[in-house]
Amino acid sequence: MSDQDHPSHPDHQQTGTHTHVPSGICDACGKVGVDLYKVSLGKDFFNRTYDRLSHTEDLHPKWFCSPCSLEKGYQRDVRNIHQELEKLLADGSSLLSDEKTLLQAISHVEKIESHVKRGRKIHVLLPPREVGLLLIELQQALAARLPTEHSQS
């Protein structure tokens, strides 16, 4: 990272929960001379707060171009939804236990799948296959929760 890309440089800007560097190299795709972003504070899909500024694992922050920054957010959502799905399948104690939340998660993963299936040729942060498999697992979890015709007789 050049001196200009460093957060202490005068052209470096912090706006809201996004830190912006005017030009540099994307840590995900390697594009050169692009605006870079680091999302440091925010809410995940389940409306839980995350804070990458004080996180102990964030000793070497990554900077992303706009498309990779969006994909990084989707990667976080896919990871968190997958973790909640594993809890649901293991013992049922999950944020996805609520059918409305499960349906919202399916809709959100469908949106992410649509994103990773079009546009960029290579998805560095979020492989389309991973998203597709999660969508199938969520749909199967929903189907398993719905009453069948045989159980209503």
> Which token pair is 123?
């998805």
> Do residues 109 and 131 touch, judged by C-beta distance below 8 A?
yes
Closest CA to 95 of 108, 109, 80, 107: 80
Model confidence, pTM: 0.76
Predicted pLDDT at 7: 37
Predicted pLDDT at 153: 42
- Residue 136 predicted with pLDDT over 90: yes
- Residue 3 predicted with pLDDT over 60: no
Kindly write down the DSSP assignment for every residue of 98-125, as one continuous string.
SHHHHHHHHHHHHHHHHHHHSS-S--SS
The predicted model gives 101-119 an average pLDDT of: 92
Coil, strand or helix at 134: helix
- Residue 82 predicted with pLDDT over 80: yes
- Residue 101 predicted with pLDDT over 90: yes
- Residue 87 predicted with pLDDT over 70: yes
> Do residues 85 and 137 touch, judged by C-beta distance below 8 A?
yes
Size (the chain), residues? 153
Residue 123 pLDDT class (50, 70, 90 cuts): confident
Predicted pLDDT at 141: 93
Residue 51 pLDDT class (50, 70, 90 cuts): low
> Do residues 106 and 135 touch, judged by C-beta distance below 8 A?
yes
Range with the lowest mean pLDDT among 13-22, 29-38, 122-131?
13-22
Return d(Cα 152, Cα 147) in angstroms, integer.
7
Write down the mean pLDDT value for the chain: 79
Spell out where the chain has E strands. Answer: 13-15, 18-25, 32-39, 41-43, 49-51
Return d(Cα 111, Cα 108) in angstroms, integer.
5
